[in-house]
């Protein structure tokens, strides 16, 4: 492919994503104090590959992954139908992470920052966009933790426009919801955005800075909470509730999540795609928490989104 200004930018994005992967993994290892990430480099037959990094059975993190991928190929009929895109070929690069803690008082988290390019038959860029965000899935609700997570994301986004945080917060609340369960959210949200395209007033470099601001604030947004809660004592009943709520997480990822669907529809690496699933989970018929319990408080927050920031 001929090196164009956009391809120069594409290389800058790849470099940033790999650096962010290193920084996040180092911070998580330091917080855990025992477990370390193992790296699995893989290649995709149709084009590209990635670095899957997995941490498991640690002092703090029961299972987690921080993955980067650089993939490309021709636009297939399946992609046209399922993803509603037109073009000859495509390129996608991003970082995706999911962290499942051992302690039920430490929340699960997910984040993703990605960039996509679409090409014509002569390999000219005909479309490109950014997407991403981060969200929090607690099992027990601490309002100060929710305020910290949302407030950190809001502060990072603020320089790019005061209107963006409420917009992308609402988008997150709507997106990470199990519509088959009356729009019950899998957690308490964060920010989510997709198809952010360059314009005259918001050039690709400015969008890159926006993505960097979101990626760079993640460690502070999440690990502050982990450090505060990781020593909290818990019981088998607390773990039971954690696994019930993990069931909602699995439902969303397998039924609704666009990233999961995109990876599977483009013949992505199944192990890396399904890394997001928790190690243990429960599905119990019509399980309901006791009224006025801490579990009921969490469920209410998932059913009724709030402006935490």
- Annotated active-site positions, please? 110
Strands 48-56 vs 38-43: parallel, antiparallel or unpaired = antiparallel
By three-state DSSP, how is residue 256 classified? coil
The contacts of residue 89 (CB under 8 Å, 6+ apart) are 72, 73, 74, 75, 118, 119, 123
DSSP secondary structure, 174-194, as one string: HHTEEGGGTTEESSSEEEEEE
Cα–Cα distance, 159 to 23 (Å, whole number) = 23
By three-state DSSP, how is residue 195 classified? strand
Where helices occur in the chain by DSSP H, the ranges are: 5-32, 77-83, 143-157, 164-175, 204-216, 218-229, 236-255, 258-265, 270-273, 294-303
Lookup: tokens for 303? 């059913």
Cα–Cα distance, 74 to 56 (Å, whole number) = 35
CB 98 within 8 A of CB 28: no
């Amino acid at each position: 492919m001929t090196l164009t200004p956009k391809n120069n930018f594409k290389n800058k994005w790849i470099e940033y994503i790999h650096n962010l992967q290193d920084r996040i993994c180092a911070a998580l290892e330091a917080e855990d104090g025992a477990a370390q990430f193992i790296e699995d480099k893989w290649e995709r037959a149709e084009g590209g590959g990635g670095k899957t990094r997995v941490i498991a059975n640690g002092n703090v993190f029961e299972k987690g992954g921080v993955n980067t991928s650089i993939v490309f190929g021709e636009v297939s009929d399946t992609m046209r139908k399922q993803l509603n895109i037109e073009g000859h070929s495509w390129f996608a690069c991003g970082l995706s992470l999911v962290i499942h803690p051992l302690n039920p008082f430490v929340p699960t988290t997910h984040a993703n920052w990605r960039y996509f390019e679409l090409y014509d038959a002569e390999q000219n860029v005909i479309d490109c966009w950014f997407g991403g965000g981060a969200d929090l899935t607690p099992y027990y609700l601490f309002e100060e933790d929710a305020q910290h997570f949302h407030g950190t994301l809001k502060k990072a986004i603020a320089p790019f426009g005061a209107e963006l945080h409420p917009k992308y917060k609402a988008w997150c609340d709507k997106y990470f919801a199990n519509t088959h369960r009356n729009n019950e959210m899998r957690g308490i949200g964060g920010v989510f955005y997709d198809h952010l395209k360059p314009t005259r007033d918001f050039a690709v470099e400015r969008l890159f800075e926006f993505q960097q601001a979101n990626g760079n604030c993640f460690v502070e947004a999440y690990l502050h909470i982990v450090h505060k809660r990781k020593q909290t004592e818990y019981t088998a009943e607390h773990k039971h509730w954690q696994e019930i709520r993990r069931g909602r997480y699995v439902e969303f990822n397998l039924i609704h999540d666009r990233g999961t669907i995109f990876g599977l529809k483009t013949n992505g690496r199944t192990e890396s795609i399904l890394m997001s699933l928790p190690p243990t989970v429960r599905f119990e018929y019509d399980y309901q928490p006791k009224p006025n319990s801490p579990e009921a408080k969490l469920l209410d927050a998932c059913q009724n989104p709030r402006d935490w920031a």
